[in-house]
Amino acid sequence: MLHNRANGKELKEKLKISNEQRVTISFYKYHKIEEPVNFRNELYKLLDNLVIMGRIYVAHEGINAQISVPQTNLESFKTHLFEIDFLNNIRLNIAIEDNGKSFFKLKILVRKKIVADGLNDESFDVTNSGIHLNAKEFNQLADDKNTLIVDMRNHYESEVGRFKDAICPDADTFREELKIAEDLLQDKKDKNVVMYCTGGIRCEKASAWMKHIGFKNVFQLNGGIIEYARQVREQGLENKFIGKNFVFDERLGERISNDVISHCHQCGQPCDTHTNCKNDGCHLLFIQCEECEKKYNGCCSSECKGIIELPAEKQKEIRKGINKGRQVFKKGRFAKSLSVNR
């Protein structure tokens, strides 16, 4: 069986009480995969045998992976992974603040693209990306007055953490952000444009696109925020990132600095803890402080709090046939806010 069919809630509870030491790792590679379905199936068998959990996207253009590896299987995982020709010695981004509870099951999906960017890859050279910078080089270029630092993540990511003086487009998706960044920088094509994201994958494509449309000096942070934070700590460099690095797993964030730059979406107090509304018919992603978590029982509103207090069957009846998709709180983005109470 090449899919995990176990109950998600049961797996999450099992993970919570587990004392197993696990390492959270992310990696990506743009590479032509001729038969992504076959590649996906072989990869699933390999990782499942090593009790690896996580979320991986495979496409004709490559692979994008975020996984959790048992510490005892880490070296075996590296050995097997590096035996795949195009993944030999690939850089692995190791989480810097890891409780071992980032993923609770293994999911490998075949997609059209490993990151939804809305670009026609046939129209430009996707391999002609920006110059890769390590942490020291990034800091040096950041101090240059001719440099513009551009955050290539979504608004809810930069809300809790970002580089000092970075341009943070108000975007919901990477596809939307590319267009916004292009428009914002239209008359600045001779500036140093330094792009960054979580682990580097979005900047590979974004920096190549910016070069294609005429930007002269395009750079990207190699390994993204995750690798930057590791190098800063190991080398004793100045940390120019303030706040938290949002991550797309159960942790929802890694602390990079002690600064708290965002606020609870319910009471307005300083807070940078993301959570998903406990109402299964909502699951809104929003920021909630401890006091509001207790007040609303982990929900985004009094309405949702009331729903989760109902019998399970009644809750199923209320949400039957409703598919809201991914819901993210957009504080200040619309005149009429979502149902989050203040």
Catalogue the active-site residues. Answer: 197
Site of tokens 């692979």:
63
* Both structure tokens of 2: 């090449």
Please list the helix, strand and coil fractions of the chain in percent, rounded to the nearest 5, in that order. 30, 20, 45
Q: Tell me the sheet residues that pair with 27.
A: 65
Q: Which helix (H) or strand (E) holds 174?
A: helix 174-184
E strand intervals along the chain: 22-30, 53-59, 62-70, 93-94, 106-110, 131-133, 147-151, 161-163, 192-196, 217-221, 241-245, 254-255, 274-276, 285-287
State in Å, rounded, how far the first CA of the chain is from the last one: 47
Question: What whole-number distance in Å separates Cα of residue 61 and Cα of residue 120?
Answer: 12
228 CA to centre of own chain: 15
Q: Tell me the sheet residues that pair with 109.
A: 57
Half-sphere exposure of 128 (CA within 13 A, CB side): 14
Residue 38, SS3 per DSSP = helix
Residue among 66, 73, 61, 152 nearest 111 (CA): 61
Question: What whole-number distance in Å separates Cα of residue 192 and Cα of residue 146?
Answer: 6
Question: What whole-number distance in Å separates Cα of residue 54 and Cα of residue 42?
Answer: 16
Question: What whole-number distance in Å separates Cα of residue 288 and Cα of residue 265?
Answer: 6
Half-sphere exposure of 296 (CA within 13 A, CB side): 27
